[in-house]
Structure 1
Amino acid sequence: TTLIHHRPSRMRVWTTVLVAGGAIGFYDGLFGPGTGTFLIITFAVMLGTEFVRSAAMAKVINLGSNFGALVYFAATGNVWWTLGLAMAACNIVGAVLGARVALAKGAGFVRIVLLVVVVVMVIRLGWQQFA
């Protein structure tokens, strides 16, 4: 499989990095949930990266973002270490299992799962907001 479906121009890459990267980074710092999904969509749609590779790159960026937040909150004494370490362990297990499933089932399966999760989240948020 090819890693990039279409090669975007340098101008498109830089514009996407600056605009989408800035917007997603701001959103991640302010709220956080869904950042990985926004990154995957940006890589796949705006930059033409193959879907499974987009998901992998989003994981790496999320790791960096979360590590930065951890450093800041640890420096200010605002980390619940027991909960955080338990979540980190479960996240590693989930990431390994997810990577294996993604590689075994392919990009089509990952797209379907992402779409289902996004639709369920939108329905849930809509229900919470308007019900």
Structure 2
Amino acid sequence: MPAAVAAFVLSFAGAAAVSHIPKAVLRPMVLVLLMVMAVYTLWKKDFGKLHKPVAIGRREMAMGMLIGGAIGFYDGLFGPGTGSFLMFLFIRFFAFDFLHASAAAKVVNLTTNVAALAFFIPSGNVLFHYALPMAAFNVAGAMTGTYIAMKKGAGFVRVLFLLLTTSLILKLAYDMLH
């Protein structure tokens, strides 16, 4: 929850800052970070397989707020890879498995989306005729994905994480080259 609160506040700030930072500056940084995450996940074979969450003390609370705030700002500002970054960081810093990290990432990502909408709706920057059907299909996909993830477990989510991260790497690289 501290990560979600920090993510909400800084996602709103990121959405407000979006017009001031060129996407051409962010894309290469995001591409490198995604590649580092993918290589790290492939290299550490047990990464995200076991769920042994650490006890939540002041240090972990501060780390959660830092992660939530940084990723929230990034999501409000740019967005691609937010879920992947959250999952990776929850596994790395809180010893979640991929299944639990994915669930926690969804909560934080929901708050970043609500914060961004709180900024973009009043400013008239939401195309509702596209956004509402997309939201409905997003919910349907999330429910289907949740059902499959619960059935198949953390190992399956790890494979999907790597596939989706690789797809995002390829998409960002393609966009940068064209």
TM-score normalised per structure 2 = 0.64
1:31 matched to 2:78? The reply is yes
CA RMSD of aligned residues (A): 2.1
Aligned partner (choices 161, 165, 174) of residue 114 of structure 1: 161
Change beyond 3 A, Cα 1:81–1:119: same
Structure 2 unpaired stretches of 5+: 1-49
Identity rate, percent: 41
Specify which structure has the bigger relative contact order, considering alpha-carbon pairs within 8 angstroms and separated by 6 or more residues: 2
Distance 1:103 1:96 in 2: 11
1:38-53 to structure 2, matched below 5 A, reads 38-53=85-100
Distance 1:89 1:61 in 2: 19
Distance 1:38 1:105 in 2: 22
Partner-residue secondary structure (3-state), 2:124? coil
CA contact (8 A) 1:24 1:35 kept: yes
Aligned partner (choices 135, 149, 171) of residue 124 of structure 1: 171
Aligned to 1:76: 123
Change beyond 3 A, Cα 1:82–1:54: same
Partner-residue secondary structure (3-state), 2:121? helix
Name segments (4+ residues, structure 1) moved above 2 Å: 8-12, 18-22, 123-131
Compute the displacement of 1:123 (Å).
2.9
The residue identity in structure 2 corresponding to 1:108 is: G
1:89 matched to 2:131? The reply is no
CA contact (8 A) 1:8 1:48 kept: no
Change beyond 3 A, Cα 1:10–1:4: farther
Alignment coverage as a number of residue pairs: 129
Distance 2:120 2:173 in 1: 31
TM-score normalised per structure 1 = 0.85
Compute the displacement of 1:70 (Å).
1.5
The residue identity in structure 2 corresponding to 1:76 is: S
Aligned to 1:67: 114
